[in-house]
Structure 1
Amino acid sequence: MSYLPAIAWRDALDLKIRQEFTLPVISNHGLAVILTQLLAKDEYEGRAIRPPRSGLNRDAFLSGRKALLERGALLLPERGLPQSLMRVPGRKDASPGEVMCAIDPFGHIAFLSAMEFHGLTNRLPKLLYFVTFDTASWRTLAEQRMEHELGGQLAAFQEADLPPLQYSVIKRLNGVVIETLRTKEAGHWRYAMDGAIRVTGIGRTFLDMIKRPDLCGGIRHVIEVFEEHARMYLTPILAEFNTHGGKIDRVRAGYILNERCGIERPEIDAWVADTARGGSRKLDAQAEYASEFSEKWSLSINA
């Protein structure tokens, strides 16, 4: 049997970060979780760990963090990121979307930024739309996540006064303005790029265009995108509107799909039942009422 010498806990932490951590940023909380999990075991990669003399506590965390920064395993953040976040040297090429998804485990890319990701728009604004949960929901999810990731070590983690999972306010990354929207309903996303990014799926992206055209380049751009791409993605579009769309969402989308895109489908015709006869519904909710009117969809065509 070969004998492997023991390894100091700082060296084990250094190796674990360099070999296993793949995200572009790590928070103080994330680092504290990794340290807790490391010290909960007697060995790392077959080598016994020489733990800190005082055991797991805040001083050990700060000492480990300092060692990682001095060795270059982690870097202090650039402008725009708080000191509670550190960059990973090998992931400096990460996009702002990847960085935001690494910082906020509950948020996702949406609206015009999701349209860009899916290749639905040629507009490339220096702006990233990011959706996450409201304060109360975010706090509840953070508590649940800590319980899940730490399990039996949660009590020791808290007794050691280690950093909890907290929300970070990010306003700009690499010259890109981060526009964050917080809502109770921030769970409509899917993984992309091998899990590096969370983004609204194609059907949800089309639904968001109808719900918030102001965040998707404006209603005229939304119509252009529907005209160019809706036929290709009609199945997920219909499924999303039928499952998660409101009546007015289906009416607006029905008009665009039917009368602007020339798409005839029984599923779309069924949405006529969602119209409000004699009402004053508008294609663009935020624009002024227009005299042009769609009789079929009972809709003022104000775009």
Structure 2
Amino acid sequence: MSAAATLLVQMARDSGRAVVTEFDLFVLARQLFRDRGYRGTKLPSRNGPLNARRARKLLSEATFDLGHYPGEVPSHYLRRDPDFTSVLFTVGDGDATKVILDADPFGYLSHASALAFHGLGADTSELHISAPMRGQWAGCARHYMAAMLGDDLNSDSDEERLFPLTKPKPCPEVRGRPLHRHELSNPLSPTSFDPDRTRVSPPGATFRDTLAAPAWCGGMDQVIAIWRTQAAHYVDAIICAVAEASEKIVRVRAGYLLEEVLGIRDPRIGAWLADA
């Protein structure tokens, strides 16, 4: 393994992530060649400017695909992650939540997993992740790549064609947990999340989602029980989130639960009668 590839592997493992994509590695490679070294170790002078050919060779030196190698992968390589059919590499420890959120920069915990995260429902072995639908995901990826590379959105460089950010394809189980990945037409915007915190739908949106897809939240009986015991603490957030719902049935269900079950009166709820 070359000195440059060794430094790239170290950068990836120091990133704090559990998995990285080829695009992530390319971003790190650009940083390595821009700084001409990493943490006091200089990049050998024989390494010229980073171009597409050199970047591809560098990533090839730093990674190993178990599918093409019958033995144990040496520890100084980045191993292809076995929980994805798309190309990702394991770089650090992490549970299923961290792995899938590191793999998909636009995914977030939702439904039953969000309920458990906020202490609104019991934790389950199943992991629920929501993300934009295919076309929306590609648009988000284009903006993300441009921001990370510092390039114009209309650029069509060799590097961007060679290392595109593509939607992850996880296996049915990630780190031993059954995964449910929901592609939504109206997901939460990536800009609505704090980059330093776990990406998870906030309580108001989570309550709204329980009515849009109760089957992903333990079933309607479980959803009603959660609303009976917890919804009164989040009334304003719930009303704001439900008002933005694209499905009329969500407002009808929310209006019934808030008014008839919880006895809450609010003029904003009355406006939803038109949806009944």
Q: Which residue of 2 aligns with 1:143?
A: 142
Alpha-carbon shift at residue 223 of structure 1 (Å): 0.6
Q: Which residue of 2 aligns with 1:110?
A: 110
SS at match of 1:40: helix
Q: Which residue of 1 aligns with 2:121?
A: 121
1:129-177 deviations in whole A, cap 9, x for unaligned? Answer: 2111222221222222111111259979725974321112112112212
Q: Could you tell me whether the CA contact under 8 Å between 2:227 and 2:257 is conserved in 1? A: yes
Alpha-carbon shift at residue 116 of structure 1 (Å): 1.4
2:20 paired with 1:16: no
Q: Could you tell me whether the CA contact under 8 Å between 1:110 and 1:205 is conserved in 2? A: yes
Q: Which residue of 2 aligns with 1:166?
A: 166
CA root-mean-square deviation: 3.1
- Specify every segment of 5 or more residues in structure 1 that has no aligned partner in the other structure, as ranges: 1-6, 277-303
Q: Which residue of 2 aligns with 1:230?
A: 231
Alpha-carbon shift at residue 209 of structure 1 (Å): 0.9
Q: Which residue of 2 aligns with 1:299?
A: none
Cα distance change on mapping 1:230 and 1:117 into 2, 3 Å = same
Q: Which residue of 2 aligns with 1:287?
A: none
1:182-229 deviations in whole A, cap 9, x for unaligned? Answer: 13322257547943x311110000001111112211111111000010
Query: Aligned AA for 2:91?
Result: V
Q: TM-score, normalised by structure 1?
A: 0.74
2:43 paired with 1:60: no
- Looking at structure 1, the residues matched to 160 and 231 of structure 2 have their Cα atoms a distance apart, in angstroms, of 54
SS at match of 2:17: coil
Cα distance change on mapping 1:52 and 1:134 into 2, 3 Å = farther
Cα distance change on mapping 1:141 and 1:264 into 2, 3 Å = closer
- Looking at structure 2, the residues matched to 229 and 193 of structure 1 have their Cα atoms a distance apart, in angstroms, of 27
Q: Could you tell me whether the CA contact under 8 Å between 2:80 and 2:89 is conserved in 1? A: yes
Cα distance change on mapping 1:12 and 1:243 into 2, 3 Å = same
- Looking at structure 1, the residues matched to 270 and 115 of structure 2 have their Cα atoms a distance apart, in angstroms, of 27
Deviates more, 1:202-211 or 1:131-140: 131-140
Aligned residues: 260
Q: Which residue of 1 aligns with 2:87?
A: 84
Alpha-carbon shift at residue 72 of structure 1 (Å): 3.8
- Looking at structure 2, the residues matched to 47 and 95 of structure 1 have their Cα atoms a distance apart, in angstroms, of 31
Cα distance change on mapping 1:74 and 1:63 into 2, 3 Å = closer
Identity across the alignment (%): 25
Give the number of the structure with larger relative contact order, counting CA–CA contacts within 8 Å between residues 6 or more apart.
Answer: 2
Cα distance change on mapping 1:188 and 1:30 into 2, 3 Å = closer
2:44 paired with 1:50: yes
Q: Which residue of 1 aligns with 2:179?
A: 178
Q: If each structure's helix is expressed as a fraction of its own residues, which one has the higher value?
A: 2
* Aligned ranges 1:182-193 → 2 under 5 Å: 182-187=183-188, 191=193
- Looking at structure 2, the residues matched to 231 and 256 of structure 1 have their Cα atoms a distance apart, in angstroms, of 10
